[in-house]
Amino acid sequence: GIEFIDSYVFNKAEYVRFNSTVGRFVGYTEHGVKNAEALNSDAGYLGQEQVQLESYCKHNVDIYYSAILDKT
C-alpha cells in the first residue's frame, strides 16, 4: 500500500504530521499537539490531506517506482 505523510517542520524539528494510514494529524511538540487538535477538528482540511494520497501519490507512484527500480 501507499502511505502519504505530510510533515510540518520548524527550525529543523518536526512538530506535527499528517499520516494517511492513521487518517489524522499527530503532534510531536506541545505546539504540534495543539495544532493537531485544531487540524483534526476541521473535516475539510482532513479531507484535503486524504485527497493528496489519490491525486499526488497514486498519480506518481509508477514514476517513482521506475526511478527507484532502474537504479537497483
pLDDT of residue 69: 78
Of 68 and 34, more confident: 34
Q: Could you tell me the pLDDT band of residue 72, with boundaries at 50, 70 and 90?
A: low
Environment class of residue 33 by beta-carbon count within 10 Å: exposed (0-12), middle (13-18) or buried (19+)? middle
Per residue in 24-66, pLDDT (tens digit) is 999 999 999 999 999 999 999 999 988 888 787 777 778 877 8
- pTM value is 0.76
All structural domains of the chain:
5-69 (3.10.320.10)
Q: Which amino acid is at 18?
A: F
